[in-house]
Amino acid sequence: MALGTLTLVTQAAADGPLFFDKFTIVGDGSHVTGGTTGLLAKLRAACGDSRSILTCKGKGSTAGYSCEYVPSTDKLRVDFEDQTSGVTADAGSADLDAITFTCEAISK
């Protein structure tokens, strides 16, 4: 089997430098539905500049937890996947301060 025709829809170059960062962050003690603010400020402080996060995803040190940064709301949303049913849902008001997330971010 061979791939069909590739048609380039748009093409763009990076506007300025892109940064690829891997870091760990400890979850918050009272995560709220929809996510918690503060990741952008913490990344800027750690890197010593005023970058913007384009995308950021990570996995928790405890099975079932994953996180994703939502740039439009400046929130780090944590989801939990039930290993039995496979259903993924917002972690809601979970206590996540015992979980360390390993994240990878692309920023500029």
- d(Cα 75, Cα 59) in Å, to the nearest integer? 16
Tokens of 39: 């990741």
**Using CA atoms, how far apart are residues 86 and 103, in angstroms rounded to an integer?**
22
CA gap 87, 6 in Å, rounded: 35
pLDDT digits (tens, 9 = 90+) for 54-90: 999 999 887 788 999 999 999 999 998 877 776 777 8
Single pTM value for the model: 0.78
Query: What's the distance, Cα to Cα, between the start and end of the chain in Å?
Result: 39
Dump pLDDT digits (tens) for 11-22: 777 777 899 999
Tokens coding 46:
């750690």
Q: What tokens does 45 get?
A: 């402080």
CA-nearest of 5, 21, 23 to 101 is 23
47: left (phi over 0), alpha (psi -120 to 50) or beta: alpha
